[in-house]
Structure 1
Amino acid sequence: MNETVVCVVGNVATQPVYREPASGPSVRFRLAVTSRYWDREKSAWTDGHTNFFTVWANRQLAVNVVASVEVGQPVVVQGRLKVRTEVRDGQQQWASADIDAMTIGHDLTRGTAAFVRAAKPEAQPAVTRPEPNWETPRPADAPAAEGQEKSQQAQEPAMVT
């Protein structure tokens, strides 16, 4: 499946909004991405146009974003780009560029961060098998059980002469 994967660097423009529907946790926030270029006439860096993206994150990423990201912080977002438009009466009303995030992190070129590993979700208990009875060993000269003897013979390769 062809998807447009993008990596954008910008500033968090709105407070992340956390929701926990039946399908699992999700969070969304707006990201402002402003291009910068060198203006030769002014001999200085100048801000260009600002693009705004709605960033969506799900499951554990959503939980980590709401605990880590605040308005104004520089972040790097990688995810699938989705452009939505709404048309009414044959005229375009609005367009929205959304990013379904796969990864989100702070931009460390503009600051530092202290990483704390998230706790793993509780795993389902594993099905345990009964322990073998090692207390009553079978004597070496005792015959093997009938089923074991047959399966042992079936496993032995036939000799070819």
Structure 2
Amino acid sequence: MNETVVCVVGNVATPPVYRELAAGPSARFRLAVTSRYWDREKSAWTDGHTNFFTVWANRQLAVNVAASVEVGQPVVVQGRLKVRTEVREGQQSWASADIDAVAVGHDLARGTALFRRAAKPEAQAATARPEPVWETPPVGTPDGEQAQQHPEPAAVT
């Protein structure tokens, strides 16, 4: 219930690693986020400290990340922040900042992208079914079927 939701803008630092797990598809990549500030003495923008996050994507987001994200691309990631610390025997303690992604997209402030909807497997099976009739049935047909036109009998002369 009490979660830290973040929106982070940075560059993809590692290629996405995609795996098919029992719980569904999963993908992860490292994201480099560098702060920038205006240095008055130099009269120029200067890079500050770089933070690295491991971004985790699941299910359809994982499939789309694996197909769309490449090293060096600027992206925007929204998700839940999880900071882990661990001490291993004989080593220093270390910390890891992970983002359980809800959304990942290219940063259009720094480039262009071409969006394509991903085809869902169940959508392909649905196309095999006949298209339903969406027209409103004519008045006076209780079952909703089209009223059949019967030709008038020809006049005998």
Do they superpose with TM above 0.5? yes
Aligned residue-pair number: 126
Give the corresponding residue for 1:120. 120
2:15 is matched with which residue?
15
Does the Cα contact within 8 Å between 1:85 and 1:92 map onto a contact in 2? no
Q: Which of the pair has more CA radius of gyration?
A: 1
**Under a length normalisation based on structure 2, what TM-score does the superposition of the two structures give?**
0.76
The reply to whether residue 61 of structure 1 matches residue 55 of structure 2 is no
Q: In 2 relative to 1, CA 29–74 (structure 1 residues): closer, same or farther, beyond 3 Å? A: same
The residue matched to 1:20 in structure 2 has which SS? strand
Matches within 5 A, 1:7-156: 7-88=7-88, 93-122=93-122
Query: Offset at 1:93?
Result: 1.2
| Matched residue SS, 2:87 | strand
Deviating 4+ runs (over 6 angstroms): none
Structure 2: gaps spanning 5 or more residues: 127-142, 144-157
- The letter of the residue matching 1:12 is V
Percent identity of equivalent pairs: 87
Between the aligned partners of 1:57 and 1:110, the Cα distance in structure 2 is 23
Counterpart of 2:67 in 1: which secondary structure? helix
SS at match of 2:22: coil
Contiguous gaps of at least 5 residues in structure 1: 126-133, 135-161
CA distance in structure 1 between the partners assigned to 2:14 and 2:88 by the alignment: 28
